[in-house]
């Protein structure tokens, strides 16, 4: 495999050596141990071991040890403390779906592969189950005995302590940095950029983006909804940070962020619901990191009041909200976007409030695509699914190891060679009478036993077995949730549209390889 496009640049010398090592790898025998290389890096700096160096070191080791490299799992910009090996994009695919293709995992150092002891225990159990081994270039690893596994756990404990120390250092650095009136770390909020003045790195206005923020502020003060502000920005082709389309959440996030005043803030991540808070100095004052704020403190408070008033005037019926059923399955035929379930409320003359639920395509407006009876649609979908797929057999994928049959085949081949040599002229069985007859009889029996061994059964492989029930039975027992999960994993959709007479019609779209996609893969990780 060639280096991926996401990897840092390889030098000409490195690429030349890579090609040479690949050529040596190609001539290794087919029965050589098959190795998967795992290359991981959190952040690339001058002090880290580059992915290119990691891979070349691993390939050199593989050539020396006669290990045939069958693939490279490169996970760059991935933290081993945040993502376990089976959760990473490339390595996870090998560990979950391509298990029969390799015999061992080769990595540069244990902390390049794993950093949490709990993850290591899980990987050791997985290796025992599937007959795999771990090989570290710069650590002595061996999973052959409980004592050896204890040593591996000790090494992992050291790596986890090291990771904890790193977090402590980073946290300490931030605690110091956030009290300074200059910009030291992080990405400025929308509308600002960094510039150096009087020896200090401070924030200054990014003229184009600052103008966008001021437009948002003026529009919000006039009572313009956030979704309409987003539409205007999209029509004007104003770029966002993420180069995606504008939406109401992005607009509200910018206007509600105190950092728009040019002050130091903390929080504001997805895990904190993007709720940024000002950082205060020892006197309890906000810390300014710019000399030219986009919004003044007074303007910021005014727009918060305007946004709060608009939000207060909206109806909120959180207790009656429910997630859209079959989300990702039910789509609009015209634009192929997901159809969502929503609700509206009407106050009757008696003062009673009645709730109405309906399905609609959020992307299609004026007149839009609306279906007033969600339950009828869901019923039509489930009926169509039962008719088309209900009688399919539920198949489960299991992993079968071939090591036992490999050992038996090797024993039989060695025994056959022994008797064939003995029956040759001058051999130990080259005698007339009982001894020769007995040897020939034994040889025939051995060859018959060898013929009974299916060559495929000597390989580690996936085996597909019936569960003894149909999908109709599976869905009747598991309910809507089980059907939703299966339809999504199989890529089955139910497209809704209108015929020439304006009637709503649904069409169930089933991939040609649906039986393969419906197979139950199982989960090998606890």
- Structural domain boundaries in the chain: 12-168, 192-313, 316-400+463-526, 402-459
Structure confidence at residue 46 (pLDDT): 42
Convert the pLDDT of each residue in 101-112 to its tens digit. Answer: 999 999 998 878
Nearby residues of 66 by Cβ (< 8 Å), 6 or more positions away: 28, 32, 33
Closest CA to 324 of 345, 339, 337: 339
Measured between alpha carbons, how far is 68 from 26 in angstroms, rounded to an integer?
Answer: 8
Answer for the pair 521, 397: CB distance below 8 angstroms, yes or no. yes
Answer for the pair 61, 106: CB distance below 8 angstroms, yes or no. yes
Structure confidence at residue 164 (pLDDT): 63
Measured between alpha carbons, how far is 286 from 293 in angstroms, rounded to an integer?
Answer: 13
Question: What class has domain 12-168?
Answer: alpha beta
Bridge partners (DSSP) listed for residue 40: 75
Measured between alpha carbons, how far is 404 from 106 in angstroms, rounded to an integer?
Answer: 24
Convert the pLDDT of each residue in 431-489 to its tens digit. Answer: 878 888 999 999 999 999 999 999 999 999 999 999 999 999 999 999 889 999 999 99
Give the strand pairing for 340-347 and 353-365. Answer: antiparallel
Structure confidence at residue 4 (pLDDT): 46
Fold of 192-313: Hect, E3 ligase catalytic domain fold (3.90.1750)
- Strand segments, DSSP code E, in 291-348 are 330-332, 340-347
Measured between alpha carbons, how far is 466 from 468 in angstroms, rounded to an integer?
Answer: 5
Convert the pLDDT of each residue in 305-344 to its tens digit. Answer: 988 887 655 555 444 556 788 999 999 998 889 998 887 7
Structure confidence at residue 95 (pLDDT): 94
Answer for the pair 331, 339: CB distance below 8 angstroms, yes or no. yes
Structure confidence at residue 438 (pLDDT): 92
Q: Using the 8-state DSSP alphabet, how is residue 460 labeled?
A: -
Measured between alpha carbons, how far is 178 from 280 in angstroms, rounded to an integer?
Answer: 9
Q: Using the 8-state DSSP alphabet, how is residue 339 labeled?
A: P
- Strand segments, DSSP code E, in 434-500 are 461-470, 493-498
Asked whether the domain spanning 192-313 has the same topology as the one spanning 12-168, the reply is: no
Bridge partners (DSSP) listed for residue 371: 359
Reading the block at residue 107, the tokens are 């990595």
Residue 367, burial from CB neighbour count under 10 angstroms (0-12, 13-18, 19+): exposed
Structure confidence at residue 523 (pLDDT): 78
Nearby residues of 39 by Cβ (< 8 Å), 6 or more positions away: 51, 54, 55, 58, 72, 73, 74, 75, 76, 107, 108, 112
Angle between helices 297-313 and 207-221 (to 10 degrees): 50
Residue 381, burial from CB neighbour count under 10 angstroms (0-12, 13-18, 19+): buried
Measured between alpha carbons, how far is 424 from 166 in angstroms, rounded to an integer?
Answer: 70
How many other β-carbons are positioned within 10 Å of the β-carbon of residue 192? Answer: 25
- Strand segments, DSSP code E, in 163-251 are 192-197, 200-205
Give the strand pairing for 393-400 and 265-267. Answer: unpaired
Structure confidence at residue 477 (pLDDT): 92
Closest CA to 58 of 41, 78, 43, 37: 37
Got the DSSP string for 92-144?
Answer: HHHHHH-GGG-SEEEES-HHHH---HHHHHHHHHHHHHHT-EEEESSS----S
**Below-70 pLDDT ranges, the chain:** 1-8, 43-49, 142-186, 242-243, 267-274, 311-322, 345-351, 366
């Amino acid at each position: 495999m060639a280096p991926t496009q996401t990897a840092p640049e390889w030098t000409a010398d490195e690429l030349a050596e890579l090609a040479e090592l690949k050529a040596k790898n190609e001539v290794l025998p087919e029965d050589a141990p098959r190795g998967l290389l795992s290359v991981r890096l959190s952040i690339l700096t001058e002090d880290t071991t580059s992915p290119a160096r990691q891979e070349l070191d691993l390939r050199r080791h593989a050539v020396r040890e006669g290990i045939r490299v069958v693939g490279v799992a490169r996970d760059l910009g991935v933290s081993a403390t945040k993502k376990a090996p089976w959760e990473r994009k490339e390595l996870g695919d090998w560990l979950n779906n391509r298990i029969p293709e390799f015999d061992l995992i080769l990595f540069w150092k244990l902390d390049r592969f794993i950093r949490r002891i709990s993850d290591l225990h899980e990987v050791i159990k997985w290796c025992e189950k599937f007959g795999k081994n771990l090989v570290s270039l710069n650590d002595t690893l061996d999973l052959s005995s409980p004592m050896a596994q204890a040593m591996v756990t000790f090494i992992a404990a050291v790596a986890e302590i090291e990771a904890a120390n790193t977090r402590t250092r980073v946290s300490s650095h931030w605690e110091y940095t956030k009290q300074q009136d200059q910009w030291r770390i992080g990405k400025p909020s929308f509308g600002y950029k960094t510039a150096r003045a009087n020896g200090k790195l401070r924030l200054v206005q990014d003229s184009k983006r600052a103008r966008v923020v001021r437009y948002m502020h003026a529009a919000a003060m006039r009572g313009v909804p956030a979704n309409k502000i987003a539409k205007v920005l999209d029509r004007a082709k104003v770029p966002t940070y993420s180069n995606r389309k504008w939406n109401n959440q992005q607009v509200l996030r910018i206007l509600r962020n105190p950092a728009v005043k040019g002050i130091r803030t903390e929080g504001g991540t997805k895990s904190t619901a993007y709720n940024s808070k000002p950082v205060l100095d020892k006197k309890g004052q906000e810390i300014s990191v710019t000399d030219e704020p986009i919004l003044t403190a007074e303007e910021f408070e005014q727009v918060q009041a305007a946004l709060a008033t608009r939000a207060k005037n909206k109806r909120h019926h959180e207790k009656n909200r429910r997630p859209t059923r079959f989300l990702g399955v039910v789509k609009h035929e015209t634009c192929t976007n997901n159809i969502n379930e929503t609700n509206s409320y009407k106050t009757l003359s008696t003062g009673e409030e009645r709730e109405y639920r309906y399905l609609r395509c959020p992307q299609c407006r004026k007149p839009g695509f609306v279906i007033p009876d969600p339950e009828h649609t869901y019923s039509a979908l489930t009926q169509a699914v039962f008719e088309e797929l209900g009688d399919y057999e539920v198949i489960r994928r299991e992993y079968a190891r071939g090591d036992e049959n490999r050992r038996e085949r090797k024993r039989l081949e060695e025994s056959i060679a022994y008797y064939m040599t003995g029956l040759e002229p001058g051999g130990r069985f080259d005698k007339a009478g009982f001894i020769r007859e007995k040897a020939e009889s034994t040889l025939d029996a051995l060859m018959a036993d060898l013929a009974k061994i299916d060559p495929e059964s000597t390989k580690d492989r996936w085996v597909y077995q019936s569960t003894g029930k149909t999908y109709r039975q599976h869905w009747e027992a598991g309910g809507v949730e089980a059907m939703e999960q299966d339809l999504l994993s199989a890529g089955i959709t139910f497209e809704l549209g209108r015929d020439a007479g304006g009637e709503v019609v649904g069409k169930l779209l089933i991939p040609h390889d649906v039986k393969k996609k419906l197979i139950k893969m199982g989960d090998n990780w606890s």
